Structure 1
């Protein structure tokens, strides 16, 4: 029997919340216009968050928005990771099947980790970026689905969210930039105590300007009166409103409970206990309905009907009657999918669950576990595994719980939910000693220890060991960002291995510690890596041995390259091939080929690196291919082949973006910025560096992006911005793991900023610190620009009294460094000439003969800004010598340098050229009327004969195809020539190139006219 008032306990009138609803509707309008929105809705339990969301989503549906709703489960780590996102994505797929399929195309295997309906989740790769890759693909999926349709994504009850859900939400809020998408997340604010895991996330999101936070207040007395009137369908007595308002304090759910109790005549009989208030209507149900309520309360957030039936053990008619009574009393509600039940309000569920007796709770959990084991089809497969682990654990049956918990840890790992995996493995370690040996001996490493190398034993037949669990937990902690917990686990494991010596296992744990120490910014990781290397020395080849050698070689390449690193890399390749570990072999080959380039064997190293890239692409080893797409162009840049590197970097960016290799993409963007800077495409270089600061998962690639922005700002004369970006780069790099490829460019920028601000002493300090550290083999790419910057600073400061002390010593130290630094490639030979010329200028001994070979060297290189700078220096030397021919040639050189400086917005160079022209009474606005016999302008620009022919036709307005036909070359060759010309002129388009040709009078007017008519 149902009581009439119970069917009216939810007010049909939506009370208050006008401002909050306006905020949500405004956000929807913005999202529909293509400006994605992120909102957080907080409020205490029962204040009306769910009702507000319901009103808003109904209105959103009327405005043709697609609403996808997902809720966090109340059983926390025991629930399925990413559950709210999985539910919401499932709803989105059902609402927009074609759009969803198109958005997920090509990434179904990875996205299946969140949505199994997309197919079998691929084995994939587990590493520190595995979770980030999944996050990036998920955000892209939602942006693409929301490209044509407004989408409202609602995630409820964040206070119960698992760590992986919190991480994904934070990533979504930080990176959401496109799509007609509104994300609304709700949480219970009164549950967020000081140590609640959601608290740091809320603090982080509060700092984002793109996230709006709404706090739902309690009702006023007037609103309480309107709510009661809606529930009772009649105007309430004012005294009753006063009493309920006072007792509820304006909490909407408590108002409802008190109004119902008052209507039943039991208001005065209620105690002040919140628990009693929440249970009063449950206790008014028939006994069978109360029993069902207790069953559902212990089952989880939502419980499937068939599972309830299996646990409640009631006749079907009796069960239906009990459920009908609970639903009619608004205690339970039917789930949206129509296959199960949940409590209408979580506060009631918590009260019912808390009212269970200890024995009753464990018995219910046992019944749930037994029901799931008897019929696996009662719930979805992945959810079944997680819930079975929870039920057996709370049933206090260690023998059943241990394998169930381990099975759940495998599911969490498969989803890249490493924090949940770690928590489950820690639970397994807690249960380990409570389980009989025969139960443990039936478990196998092959099933539960995927990360841990077998170390010579057969994982399919060897029993699982406690050390295996510790190894898997350490890796889960590292991948999930729980590095402090992972460090403690490795420390305990190594202590255990002191009593049970096992060099391979110990070496493996030392490798993990090396990675964790570096990630925690506690050191460079070499002590730990060296310990691992000592442990495996002399042992037969193994996967662990090969990995240790490969990591040691890579560490040496970055920190101390040389013959020892090459030997380690060669041995790593050999061992990896012997034991069949392809990933390690490919990584070691990349390291080895890079070391060969650094040692001067350029062509061999490049050829081997190209082969590794081909192998990784053919074999689908995406993570190594991502590294190859970074390393191969980088070594090309090391020997000055930026024009070859740039298209390969763009190809690599497309590849790494496709497979969400975020750090590799960030490194590629940073290297592309370097290449574009060298090629005189500074606007594009700035955009590339900005991308590097945004897409990187780790700090160092973001630091590299900031360093490139500092370099560009310094060249443009924006010292304040250069200083800001330099500080950002230093913060990203940290001080725990110094590498020449980071410390030398940092010193160069710091030296340049100090010199530009007149702080010559600080500039010298930066130089001396770098000289003390030295220039290991392969660091000439970073060493030459630093030495050049220091020599230039000394030359520029020659007339300053503050620069005179210590000058001879500084110049002597610079000279020695120049003599010992490798040249190796034409670019660094040119830098050698340039730096020596600056040292002569610092002593007042440079002449036109000093600078002419430098200009000649750079005319053969694709570096228009460097060419402009040395032309400016040669112009100054020519003007000092003072002849008419020298004056004419200097004027032309200055015009060329000023044109490049103007195009690049290189203000220091532009100002220097203008000052020099002013002192010499030269004009930079147009070319001189008489021909300059000593210097052909086209040759001075570094143009070859063929490039001059192509430029003449470009200036005449010809297309690439027309140029090809006239010069009897292919359109592709014509395109290459045009690109080279644009770079050498320091311009970005054909129109600008034509303008430079006209301004410098490179071609007679009649030639251009003939070209136009011909």
Structure 2
């Protein structure tokens, strides 16, 4: 034995790493300011990652931080779901029991999936929200704890991490925004080969500016010398340092092994292979200690003492003596925070494991499995199923492995660890044919097939291979492995070709529809239609109800109309008959929205309010989210924006508490839309930004971009509007067109094109949209689009170049107006507005027409729209009106100008100001004298009116057109033109225009007729 040297095999002196340790201390300091820090520590095996983390953790504790360590657990080739997070949360619970309990309050059922000590975890249907909800609640938990304490969460050995752990870590790194929190993770860089599952995560994290990566280099010769001196407790000879440095190449762990082996050189000397070097010290231990080391190597990265005792089958005194020898030789070490043992370095464990014979490895795994079956309390409850499955699988016993693997898959599903569930189910399918028939006949769907509807089968029927395929398909979809899931559904449908089982076939076709949409390979309707044909004429069942509900929901989004309404009604009826409450609630939400679109507004809203109240009372998370997205959206669509905002605010509270991050993002995007309608534009900008930041899917990002594009356009920031429009279009993509996405994008496309002076492009977009048509129920998107196009034509009426194509555009708008629904006040108001713009485009606009439009908008709480139509009414009144009309026009313009100024709607404000100036009307009350803007034409002796006339001359207007623009007679216009020619000393209108351009009297943009907002 090594005597005194053995206790110093880990150098008591911390060597090097000053820069890296400084970075970690800087992160700790920043976190104390409430700015969460994320770090990755990379380095080859043995380079000193763990020692660096230990030194930092000790320093952080001295500074008052709470440190929670967790390590990825490897059993054979398997990782345990969420193992490092469960371990870290246990550590936090030990350190801060009251704070953790308070932070988890109200969400114990969900968080128990990571930390079973919190209580029984919840049950319910598995959907796309489950895992995201668990991740969000975990992030909130850490933020709440870190609000009052500086917390360091360190996760080691990320190269062994299971997929669910990787996904959760990525989520935290992306979303943590507040709290005195440092999250760091270590991994072996030399293990990350091209196909390693950690590689995509590292690439993703590299793109995050909030994540810092530390690469630990090998030691220099000077650092190796200091390390060896610390181990040996004396200054080593230069030739010894040269030899160790050359052999180890600066790897800290190999330096340590070589230093110890050199000290014992009289017995072992230096071997030719570093792998052999790792085994030298193992083989130098007594045989019982070697035996224990081999057992620990095959048991996993950490083995509990009682489990080790059961497998080793040694007398307790002999086992303790063997462990003492292994610990003194620095081969094994007590596991931190637990009653167990692990290899002091994983490289030694891997060397010992690789040295096992195949039969020896199988035998040890069998002994582990038998011990754990005999006494399940030997390991923590949250690890039991996964470890037993791994032991039996590596024992090569299909009869025992198949049920154990299936039990582990159920546990993984229960924890929302869908990636691990998929891997275990694929392992079960691998074992299926080799397991004895007698074993397969004992397996029941009720135990293993939670997501697959029973389709009316007797629960006593044995589990089938199809049941496993169904579970695997859903697990693949929920963990994002859609390609694998699609292949699984293809295999299942091939098997079903030989069976008369339309319900199971229909169920798989519905899964394929969701996968096709998720993979952006189509809209999924072909698959839904196939499922509908399969269930047609069959009695009610859960599958039948789900097919109808899916078809109705698809139609609501893509082709709303009578067929969608009928499908929704049947889905509600069938779901109610078979007691499928969740399907019924979803179908009723769809039905309510379709009823509103069909004109049954109050009846439809009643349906939706009832569902909202029911699912909130039941805390049915996924439908709580949808109800607080769909109901406010429908209210906004019928012009009840204030009511919508109230529900959206409540939805933010509920989805935030439940961790429904994507539903929360949709709520923010809908809130932005309603706030725009209510004229609360600064709040709308913030809401749209939150939608883009919070959303995990493309939908909320695209909707938020559309709102930002509208606001930028209305405020005159055209390049910014074009940029947001491009973002929205890209977010939706071309594979799954929906009116609720496409029509707002088309409306904005027309608006941006007009603002950029591209009227032909605007007309082309209008023609394309009119050709596609407006399905029933899309009037909320159709009316603003038609208004944008009609306004553009009316504003361009005076431009000769715009005449070609105008008739076709106006005709298309007019024909569409006659077909659209107007049975909500907001739709009726828009119909009158569009018709008024069409009349203005034809030169026959009247005050009575615009007065009706203003009257329609006054009760609707839409200040921007009301300001725009008031401006148009004032413009109409000033054309040939008397003094009474001028007084009324003055008041209308003042009201419109006040709103435009408040909203920073510059185009509308400029249009109102220009009209008031041309008509010589004061925008400010008489008691508030307005400051006259400086007139650059004064140096030429031009009056204010002559300046207005010269601007129109420079555009090329005739005297008659100037008279119309300035509300004067043609004769007066002619007199003004004559005076201008005399003052400029020119002989004609063309020369006058040239002088105006040369002297820069008018900005270029002022020479282009501007739309009225």
The normalised TM-score by structure 1 is 0.90
What is the deviation of 1:162? 0.4
What is the deviation of 1:895? 2.0
- Give the 3 Å change call, closer, same or farther, for CA 684–785 of structure 1 in structure 2: same
For residues 572-721 of structure 1, what are the structure 2 equivalents within 5 Å? 572-721=571-720
Number of equivalences: 929
Does the CA contact (< 8 Å) of 2:262 and 2:269 recur in 1? no
What is the deviation of 1:4? 2.6
Match of 1:386 in 2: 386
Bigger mean CA deviation after superposition, 477-486 or 549-558: 549-558
Match of 2:735 in 1: 736
CA deviation string 1:737-782 (max 9, x = no partner): 1111111001011111111111112111221121111111111110
| Paired residue secondary structure (2:341) | strand
Does the CA contact (< 8 Å) of 2:302 and 2:342 recur in 1? yes
- Give the 3 Å change call, closer, same or farther, for CA 265–651 of structure 1 in structure 2: same
Does the CA contact (< 8 Å) of 1:892 and 1:927 recur in 2? no
| Paired residue secondary structure (1:424) | helix
What is the deviation of 1:619? 3.3
Q: How far apart, CA to CA, are the structure 2 residues paired with 1:197 and 1:792?
A: 55
Bigger mean CA deviation after superposition, 71-80 or 767-776: 71-80
Does the CA contact (< 8 Å) of 1:76 and 1:161 recur in 2? no
Match of 1:120 in 2: 120
| Paired residue secondary structure (2:336) | coil
What is the deviation of 1:882? 5.0
Match of 2:22 in 1: 22
Match of 1:71 in 2: 71
Does the CA contact (< 8 Å) of 2:244 and 2:259 recur in 1? yes
CA deviation string 1:629-661 (max 9, x = no partner): 222222211211111111111112211222122
What is the deviation of 1:267? 10
What is the deviation of 1:436? 1.1
| Paired residue secondary structure (1:262) | helix
CA deviation string 1:805-837 (max 9, x = no partner): 111111111111111111111111111111111
Q: How far apart, CA to CA, are the structure 1 residues paired with 2:818 and 2:780?
A: 15
Does the CA contact (< 8 Å) of 1:483 and 1:520 recur in 2? yes
CA deviation string 1:102-147 (max 9, x = no partner): 1000000000000000001111431012100000000000000010
Structure 2: state its 5+ residue gaps.
930-1013
For residues 555-954 of structure 1, what are the structure 2 equivalents within 5 Å? 555-927=554-926
CA deviation string 1:562-583 (max 9, x = no partner): 2211211111111111111111
Match of 1:345 in 2: 345
Q: How far apart, CA to CA, are the structure 2 residues paired with 1:393 and 1:416?
A: 23
Q: How far apart, CA to CA, are the structure 1 residues paired with 2:586 and 2:898?
A: 45
What is the deviation of 1:506? 0.4
- Give the 3 Å change call, closer, same or farther, for CA 880–354 of structure 1 in structure 2: same
Q: How far apart, CA to CA, are the structure 2 residues paired with 1:914 and 1:285?
A: 94
What is the deviation of 1:552? 0.8
Does the CA contact (< 8 Å) of 1:2 and 1:325 recur in 2? no
| Paired residue secondary structure (1:185) | strand
Q: How far apart, CA to CA, are the structure 2 residues paired with 1:866 and 1:584?
A: 40
For residues 183-332 of structure 1, what are the structure 2 equivalents within 5 Å? 183-265=183-265, 269-332=269-332
Q: How far apart, CA to CA, are the structure 1 residues paired with 2:291 and 2:180?
A: 46
What is the deviation of 1:795? 1.8
Match of 2:423 in 1: 423
Match of 2:403 in 1: 403
Does the CA contact (< 8 Å) of 1:111 and 1:134 recur in 2? yes
What is the deviation of 1:695? 2.1
Q: How far apart, CA to CA, are the structure 2 residues paired with 1:273 and 1:766?
A: 72
What is the deviation of 1:728? 1.9
Bigger mean CA deviation after superposition, 785-794 or 704-713: 704-713
Does the CA contact (< 8 Å) of 1:31 and 1:182 recur in 2? yes
CA deviation string 1:952-998 (max 9, x = no partner): xxxxxxxxxxxxxxxxxxxxxxxxxxxxxxxxxxxxxxxxxxxxxxx
Does the CA contact (< 8 Å) of 2:66 and 2:151 recur in 1? yes
Match of 1:953 in 2: none
Match of 2:938 in 1: none
Q: How far apart, CA to CA, are the structure 2 residues paired with 1:77 and 1:146?
A: 34
Does the CA contact (< 8 Å) of 1:79 and 1:387 recur in 2? no
Match of 1:88 in 2: 88
What is the deviation of 1:622? 3.0
Q: How far apart, CA to CA, are the structure 2 residues paired with 1:356 and 1:134?
A: 40
| Paired residue secondary structure (1:90) | helix
Structure 1: state its 5+ residue gaps.
931-1014
Q: How far apart, CA to CA, are the structure 2 residues paired with 1:841 and 1:379?
A: 81
- Give the 3 Å change call, closer, same or farther, for CA 90–303 of structure 1 in structure 2: same
Match of 2:991 in 1: none
Q: How far apart, CA to CA, are the structure 2 residues paired with 1:725 and 1:266?
A: 75
| Paired residue secondary structure (1:499) | coil
- Give the 3 Å change call, closer, same or farther, for CA 617–268 of structure 1 in structure 2: closer
Match of 2:39 in 1: 39
CA deviation string 1:374-400 (max 9, x = no partner): 111111223111100000000000000
What is the deviation of 1:671? 1.3
| Paired residue secondary structure (1:213) | strand
What is the deviation of 1:265? 1.5
Q: How far apart, CA to CA, are the structure 1 residues paired with 2:886 and 2:836?
A: 21
| Paired residue secondary structure (1:745) | helix
Match of 2:947 in 1: none
Match of 1:5 in 2: 5
Does the CA contact (< 8 Å) of 2:753 and 2:762 recur in 1? yes
- Give the 3 Å change call, closer, same or farther, for CA 927–574 of structure 1 in structure 2: farther
Match of 1:170 in 2: 170
| Paired residue secondary structure (2:209) | coil
Match of 2:98 in 1: 98
Q: How far apart, CA to CA, are the structure 1 residues paired with 2:643 and 2:926?
A: 34
What is the deviation of 1:731? 2.1
Quick check: 1:494 aligned with 2:493?
Answer: yes
Larger Rg: 2
CA deviation string 1:53-93 (max 9, x = no partner): 11111000000000000001123873420000000001011
Q: How far apart, CA to CA, are the structure 2 residues paired with 1:760 and 1:428?
A: 63
Does the CA contact (< 8 Å) of 1:76 and 1:162 recur in 2? no
- Give the 3 Å change call, closer, same or farther, for CA 857–308 of structure 1 in structure 2: same
Q: How far apart, CA to CA, are the structure 1 residues paired with 2:200 and 2:361?
A: 33
Q: How far apart, CA to CA, are the structure 1 residues paired with 2:209 and 2:928?
A: 58
Does the CA contact (< 8 Å) of 1:77 and 1:420 recur in 2? no
Does the CA contact (< 8 Å) of 1:132 and 1:697 recur in 2? no
Q: How far apart, CA to CA, are the structure 1 residues paired with 2:369 and 2:245?
A: 44
- Give the 3 Å change call, closer, same or farther, for CA 922–339 of structure 1 in structure 2: same
Match of 2:55 in 1: 55
- Give the 3 Å change call, closer, same or farther, for CA 81–51 of structure 1 in structure 2: same
Match of 1:963 in 2: none
What is the deviation of 1:262? 1.1
| Paired residue secondary structure (1:368) | helix
Q: How far apart, CA to CA, are the structure 1 residues paired with 2:926 and 2:173?
A: 55
**RMSD between aligned alpha carbons?**
1.5
The normalised TM-score by structure 2 is 0.90
CA deviation string 1:293-334 (max 9, x = no partner): 100000001000111111112221111111111101111110
Does the CA contact (< 8 Å) of 2:669 and 2:703 recur in 1? yes
What is the deviation of 1:801? 4.0
Match of 2:524 in 1: 525
Match of 1:952 in 2: none
